[in-house]
Each structure stands twice: as C-alpha cells, then as structure tokens.
Structure 1
Amino acid sequence: MNRLLRNSLALACGLYVDVALATTQPAAAVVAPVAASGSAAGQLTQLVLGLLLVLGLIFLLAWLLRRVQNAAPGSAQVIEILGSRSLGPRDRLLLIQVGKEQILIGHSPGTIEALHVMAEPIEVPASARQATPEFAQRLMELMGKDQKGRS
C-alpha cells in the first residue's frame, strides 16, 4: 500500500514538474510546430496517465475514508438514532437517545426542533433499529445482498 502511494505521488510530482517546465519556456518554443504522430501519442499517454492517477487517488481516499469510519467504535456513541420516519420528501421525525433520555426531533431542510422529551424511555427492539441508511439498505436489497435476513 505504501509503495503504491509513493509511486502515485512520484508520478504526480513528475507530471507537475513537466507542466511547470512547459509553462516557463519562452513563447516561441511553445508556438513551434509539433510533429503529428510522436507528440500526439506522448500527449495521449500523459493524459491517460494523469486520468489514471486521479482515479487512483479517488479510490484510495474512498478506501481510507471507509477504513477510518469503521475504526470508530459504534457502541461508544453518546447520541444514537433509534428510529426515523419520513413525513415528506424533505421532512423527517427522528427518535434520538442521548444518554438515558429520548427526544423526538423534527427535521426540515432549514430547521431541527425538539418536539418532545420522553418522560420514560421507549423500548426499541434491536431488529427495529436502523443500522444502515434507508438508501443504502434499499440498494443492497436491489443488488440481492439484503443483510437483515441473513442474521
């Protein structure tokens, strides 16, 4: 992994130096006629390598972000979403557990309001708790990878 990162950084630095040198040359050298076949292949190669570098960095950062998010302990969270209900395309009700207190929250695009603080906590079964966001769960169902039924 470190070797891949070093190689991609070295390639990025090499491309940066190549572009920097091209911009510092006199204008007469830039306007000089270019050989059609050799230079076009070189530019195409440089373009493809740059694109591959950018795509590689995107995938690397996505992988690192996923690893960092999974490393955080889930049970040590102070605030937990016990349930949610969609009221419309952009409005939601959320049942939040903060310590030993449960709060019903209304969420709209511009506001978040505490609607009710529960006098006694509601017991929410573990099967009813939403472990993954609705979109992610629906996508997994469509792909045939439903995780809820496999427990």
Structure 2
Amino acid sequence: MNKLLVMCLLLPFTVLAAEPAAQAAKPIGGSGVGAQLGQLLLGLLVVIGLIFLLAWVMRRVQQIVPRGGQVIKVMATQALGPRDRLVLVQIGGEQILLGLTPGRITPLHVMSEPVHLPDGEPASTEFAQRLMELLGKDQKDKS
C-alpha cells in the first residue's frame, strides 16, 4: 500500500521530466497575467483536490483495519465543560471512570460491576444515569 501511495505522489514529477525543455518553458494558455492567474488557480485546485483525496483514502484504510483485537475500549463519554469530560473505559473485564482535563487524566472510580450499554442508543444519557446510581447519588439530591 505504501508503494502505491509513493507512486501516486511521484507521478506528476515523472510526467514533467518527460516533457521536452522547449515545451516546458512555453506558457500553457498565453502570455497574459490572466492566463498565469488561471494556471495558478488550476494548480491550487489540483493540490487541494489531492489533499481531500488523500484524506478520504486514509479514512477508508483506517476503517478496513480490524479493531476487534483492542484491549482498551472507550465505553462512553460525558462532556462536563468545553475542555473537561468523564470517560468510562473498559480494560479487559474491569471498567474505570476517568476524569479528563487539559493537563491531567485522573482515575475517579473503579466499577465493582460493569456497566452494560445497549447497542444503538446514545450512551451519554444512560451513562450519566448509571453513574449516578453506581456512585450512590440519587437524582433527587441535586437540589
């Protein structure tokens, strides 16, 4: 896969090397400023298109890689603020609640019994309710 990517990146350079020197020196559209601006714009669009194409290819390649062998799984996350969040992580058979801040990751609680999340439902609301139950805080005690 890496050889294919290198070949695709080097292809434009091999085409330029194959052109005769006389043709390479001659402008494509004409000698005016408008033609040069059009050529510059076309080159910019090609580069931007290549960036988007490579990003799409990278996403497709990452999806192909099997993720079933991961030992650490993020079960659920809950945002507490713009930069702070709670994360429920499962490592093997044990679940740990982590507090994430910009400069620190703090283990908050090790679950005595694992939290089971049903598939297809948003995990954040059920996660928050289950967390309150496991920590022994009732929803009525919020006032």
TM-score (norm 2): 0.61
- RMSD of aligned Cα (Å): 3.2
* Structure 1 residue 60 corresponds to structure 2 residue 62: no
- Structure 1 residue runs of 4+, over 4 Å off? 5-8
Aligned length: 109
Corresponding residue of 1:51: 44
Q: Encode CA deviations 1:77-125: one digit per residue, 9 max, x unaligned.
A: 2211111111122111111111111000000111111111112212222
Counterparts of 1:80-95 in structure 2, within 5 Å, are 80-95=73-88
Distance 1:49 1:12, change over 3 A: farther
Counterparts of 1:93-104 in structure 2, within 5 Å, are 93-104=86-97
Give the Cα separation in 1 of the matches to 2:15 and 2:104.
45
1:112 corresponds to which letter in structure 2? I
Structure 2 residue runs of 5 or longer lacking an equivalent are: 124-143
Contact 1:103/1:115, CA 8 A, preserved across alignment: yes
Structure 1 residue runs of 5 or longer lacking an equivalent are: 23-36, 131-151
Q: Encode CA deviations 1:13-41: one digit per residue, 9 max, x unaligned.
A: 74xxx9xx99xxxxxxxxxxxxxx72314
User: Once the 2 structures are TM-superposed, how far is the Cα of residue 42 of structure 1 from its aligned partner?
Assistant: 3.6
2:97 corresponds to which letter in structure 1? L
**2:31 partner SS:** helix
Give the Cα separation in 2 of the matches to 1:12 and 1:66.
27
TM-score (norm 1): 0.59
